[in-house]
């Protein structure tokens, strides 16, 4: 929790993502809550200003393109 407070400026402590991350971390530490929620909250709080963008130049998946042995 202290690390999150150092990473996020004081002016952004009231943001929803930061508050949610703090709640999840506290819940996991004090009450044995799920650690994965704390981790996801931390990642969202750290990357709160980054926009998710679709990259059309990404490599195509091979799913469905392999031939079966019987069809060769």
Of the two residues 56 and 43, the one the predictor is more confident about is 43
The C-alpha R_g of the chain, in whole angstroms, comes to: 20
Q: Are 24 and 36 in contact (CB under 8 A)?
A: no
State the chain's maximal CA–CA distance in angstroms.
Answer: 64
| Predicted confidence band of residue 65 (pLDDT cuts 50, 70, 90) | low
Of the two residues 12 and 3, the one the predictor is more confident about is 12
What are the residue boundaries of the structural domains of the chain, listed by start?
13-48
pLDDT in tens, 9-47: 888 888 888 888 888 888 888 888 888 888 888 888 888
Q: Is the pLDDT reported for residue 4 higher than 80?
A: no
């Amino acid at each position: 929790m202290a690390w999150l407070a150092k990473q996020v400026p004081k002016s952004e402590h009231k943001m929803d993502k930061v508050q949610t991350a703090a709640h999840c971390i506290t819940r996991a530490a004090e009450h044995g809550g799920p650690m994965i929620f704390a981790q996801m909250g931390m990642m969202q709080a750290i990357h709160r200003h980054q926009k998710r963008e679709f990259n059309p130049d990404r490599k195509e998946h091979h799913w469905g393109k392999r031939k079966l042995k019987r069809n060769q």
